[in-house]
Amino acid sequence: MTSSSAPLVRPNVTGHGVGQGVTLALDPPGRVSGRIRPGATQANRVTVLCDGRPWATVPVVTDASGASFACELPSVTEPTATAVEVRDGAVSLGEIRGQRVPRRNAHGLDAASVLAVYDRPLFSVPWLRFDGAHLVVSGSHLPPAGNPELLSVRFGDGVAYTFDYPLLSPEFANHFWYWPNAEHSNFVLIIDLPSCRAGSDPFQFEFVYPDMDCGSVLPAEHHRIGRRISIPPRLDMSICFPRDSTQLTRVQTWSDDQSVTFTGYNTFKALEALFAHYGVTRRPGVSILDWGCGHGRVTRHFIQNWPEARISGADIDAENAGWCRRHLNGSFSTVPLLPPTDLPGASFDGIFGVSVMTHLTAETQAVWLDEIARLLKPDGVPLITFAGPAAAAFSSVFRSRAWWQNWTGTGFDDAQHDPALDGKIEDNTYYRNTLHTAEYTRRVWSRHVDVVDIIPSAIGYQDMAVLRRKA
């Protein structure tokens, strides 16, 4: 987040070489910006060095007033003297010295505290367009390590595409205040279907950057699931959604028909891959429960792609569960706010719950974990998301220093009411915004089920807990 206070240093600095140079400014907490003098460079990007080390390569923006750039420097925990140099390749365009100070949000929380909890770049890919020949995917991805130059996408062989990144992202810059150069997060990916080679797969790609799996003890496949984007390959996946718009936006306020189709299918593919890894595969008679099905955003894709399976959905929202029962080819039921349910015990091979535990108190989580264990077959697998460190980082723009210290100390918070289901369920205090750490999840959930694995950021900003019934 850039401070609105007066800059620490704003000198004019001449670069090396005739006709080369920039006018530089270094503003607190640590943002260097520059106006490039006419003829200094024709480059569309410049590299910023911080204290002699390459830090980030950022775009040069050209408009009627000339060419300019901006770059946020690494976060610091205390005031730090800093030397900044700007280069076009090996040519220095200018230097400036000043001071960086800790970056803080409006509530006094410092960026270093957030990055200590979660230092991986978050992303969002909700938008998809099709013009009959080209798939246009758009979204945002934080620059890895603050450097937009490090991010790319990867397809299988034979896919023709262009990846336009970074583009300016005011929304990400404001929301991800703690992440250097979050303003350079937007992208547009264009897949040229007629130019793709026969037999190639243009409907799946993944984000790639250096050290993306560094320090992990989980299988590489688990990380690929979190970074992999699956594009709906069939138009009939978009058929039949609720026309009462509040059903689409009740929990995800930004949802529309397009984003629901795209994100629902992408979530289905991630769940399908995880189920397969733990032994639950598409086969005749396999039984799957979507616990917290909503309007069937994900369930519909299991119904469509697993025709041999028995697919069920359950939700406390009677309006949404009823819509699914009338319009989708599965078994859907309304369940009470607290178990038990009428669902038969030991009847499901797989249960998934996406963004359900994220809205329950600790006590309500406990009784639902016991119910999930009751519903599972002996070798069944529940995949249950929770809002962990990534979700906490996402919400940090609203958090105070005191809240952050309490959450990192206890590992849990369920104090905030979520009004999304007010008037739709009988208890308006029931639905919460709940965050907890992986350590809390293992320690507390293990009283009710076996916690086999925890996969960070497996579904969007939510972590995935892979569970089993206790022996």
pLDDT tens profile 132-146 = 999 999 999 999 999
Question: Alpha carbon of 358 to those of 290, 330, 368, 372: distances in Å?
Answer: 15, 25, 13, 16
342-390, pLDDT tens digit by residue?
Answer: 999 999 999 999 999 999 999 999 999 999 999 999 999 999 999 999 9
In a domain, 216, yes or no: no
Rounded Cα distance between 204 and 191, Å, is 11
In a domain, 73, yes or no: yes
Q: Tell me: do 314 and 390 sit in the same domain.
A: yes
Q: Determine contact, residues 96/24, Cβ cutoff 8 Å.
A: yes
Question: Can you point out the beta strands (E) in 172-263?
Answer: 186-192, 204-208, 228-230
CATH number of the domain at 23, please.
2.60.40
Block mean pLDDT (10 aa), the chain, length 471? 33 36 91 87 91 96 87 96 93 92 97 96 95 96 97 97 97 95 98 98 96 66 84 93 81 79 96 96 97 96 97 96 95 98 97 98 98 98 98 97 97 96 94 97 98 95 97 85
What pTM was computed for the model? 0.92
β 287-291/348-353 pair status: parallel
Q: Alpha helices, DSSP H only, in 218-295?
A: 220-227, 245-249, 257-277
The token pair that represents 404 in the structure block: 């952050």
140, 175, 208 - which closes a domain: 208
pLDDT for position 25: 93
Q: Tell me: do 184 and 243 sit in the same domain.
A: no
Q: Tell me: do 346 and 275 sit in the same domain.
A: yes
Q: Tell me: do 94 and 169 sit in the same domain.
A: no
Q: Which domain holds residue 188?
A: 123-208
In a domain, 219, yes or no: no
Phi, psi of 202 (to 5 degrees): -85, 5
Q: Tell me: do 410 and 447 sit in the same domain.
A: yes
Question: Alpha carbon of 408 to those of 355, 392, 440: distances in Å?
Answer: 21, 10, 10
In a domain, 287, yes or no: yes
In a domain, 9, yes or no: no
Q: Tell me: do 97 and 135 sit in the same domain.
A: no
Residue with tokens 């598409």: 282
pLDDT for position 131: 94
The dihedral formed by the CA atoms of 320, 326, 331 and 334, expressed in degrees to the nearest 10: 30
Q: Which residues on neighbouring strands pair with residue 288, listed in sequence order?
A: 311, 350
In a domain, 255, yes or no: yes
In a domain, 220, yes or no: no
The token pair that represents 468 in the structure block: 């089993």
Q: Tell me: do 363 and 455 sit in the same domain.
A: yes
Q: Tell me: do 93 and 131 sit in the same domain.
A: no
Q: Tell me: do 404 and 361 sit in the same domain.
A: yes
Q: Tell me: do 136 and 194 sit in the same domain.
A: yes
pLDDT for position 246: 81
CATH number of the domain at 340, please.
3.40.50.150
Q: If you ran DSSP here, which 8-state letter would residue 170 be given? A: H
151, 175, 208 - which closes a domain: 208
Q: Tell me: do 265 and 147 sit in the same domain.
A: no
The token pair that represents 427 in the structure block: 């208890």
Number of domains in the chain: 3
pLDDT for position 282: 97
Give per-residue burial for 448-460: e unless 16+ CB within 10 Å, then b: bbebebbbbbbbb
In a domain, 40, yes or no: yes
159, 175, 208 - which closes a domain: 208
Q: Tell me: do 27 and 175 sit in the same domain.
A: no
